[in-house]
Amino acid sequence: MKLARFTVDGHTAIGVVLGDSVVALSSVLPDAPSTLREVLAAGPPLRQRIVAALPLAPAGHALADVHLEAPIPDASKYLAIGMNYQDHAEEARRAGLSIPKTQLWFNKQVSCIHGPFDPVLIPRVSEKVDYEIELGVVIGRRCRYVAESEAHAVVGGYFVANDVSARDWQQASPTFTLGKSFDTHGPIGPWIVTPDEVADPHALEMRLFVNGELRQRQRTGNMIYTIWQQIHHLSQVMTLEPGDLIATGTCAGVGIASARFLQHGDVVRAEIDAIGHIENRFISEPAVRG
């Protein structure tokens, strides 16, 4: 099931994507939750009710006629792992960074979460804005101390993420958070794909293009730490909540490796098999007025 958040005729709703259309969840189940966090927290029983009711639902809106929004705009956490593909770790090492011996985690502040097709700002205070395609995971169940063997059971779904990074700010601090958290630097989507539609999240190809040029291409099976290991590791420290977002790492080909940073007007498309794609135009942040 593909769960989306969309705006049409000035009204924002959540819905189910069926082919080239999206059906508002409220028209499928009048008593359905109003946010995707609540839908995920309700788990498989609610999804089964939705599937059973879909044949009787009214016609939806064509995807071409709606504006897709960030599916989870109100996450309590957005966590991301650094250098989780060997090829990216090697290019980072050549750039002067040490390859970590354990999982390397940082926060993207949730205020960066942004729509899958909305313009992304190049900040006035950064000259080194970069891209990173990543497979995103959303937690579906409140959990703590999750065993690797049970981690799949707490996943609510998957999405495409671009971990936009202001490298100059990232490099200026011992932690990555500031360089990873500028407003609009967390485009995600285009929707949440529930686990029943992703046979193996470690068998997907992800690709990123800048103005049509292929810059990144890798298979998720080449992660150093699997999704299950990541969830296990994080849950030793903190309680994970429904709607929490995890970016599982990027591969080689980022802009900093070749000193090709994003410029005004660049279009970045990130796509992952079985999930979909997001596409954002990067624009210069407007000057401060008065």
3-state SS of the chain is: CEEEEEEECCEEEEEEEECCEEEEHHHHCCCCCCCHHHHHHHCHHHHHHHHHHHHHCCCCEEHHHCEECCCCCCCCCEEEEECCEHHHHHHHHHCCCCCCCCCEEEECCHHHEECCCCCEEECCCCCCEECCEEEEEEECCCECCCCHHHHHHHEEEEEEEECCEEHHHHHCCCCCHHHHCCCCCEEEEEEEECHHHCCCCCCCEEEEEECCEEEEEEEHHHECCCHHHHHHHHHCCCCECCCCEEECCCCCCCHHHCCCCCCCCCEEEEEECCCEEEEEEEEECCCCCC
Does residue 290 form part of some domain?
no
Indicate the average pLDDT of the chain: 95
pTM for the full model?
0.96
Domain tally, the chain: 2
% of the chain at pLDDT higher than 70: 99
59 confidence band (pLDDT: 50, 70, 90): confident
State the CATH number of the domain containing residue 211.
Answer: 3.90.850.10
94 confidence band (pLDDT: 50, 70, 90): confident
pLDDT at 204 over 90: yes
**pLDDT (mean) for 269-278:** 98
The residue among 23, 41, 68 that closes a domain is 68
93 confidence band (pLDDT: 50, 70, 90): confident
Q: Of the given ranges (12-26, 82-96, 230-244), which has the lowest mean pLDDT?
A: 82-96
pLDDT at 171 over 90: no
Does residue 9 form part of some domain?
yes
pLDDT at 288 over 80: no
The whole domain housing 119 covers 78-284
pLDDT at 289: 58
The residue among 15, 42, 68 that closes a domain is 68
pLDDT at 146: 98
The residue among 68, 88, 109 that closes a domain is 68
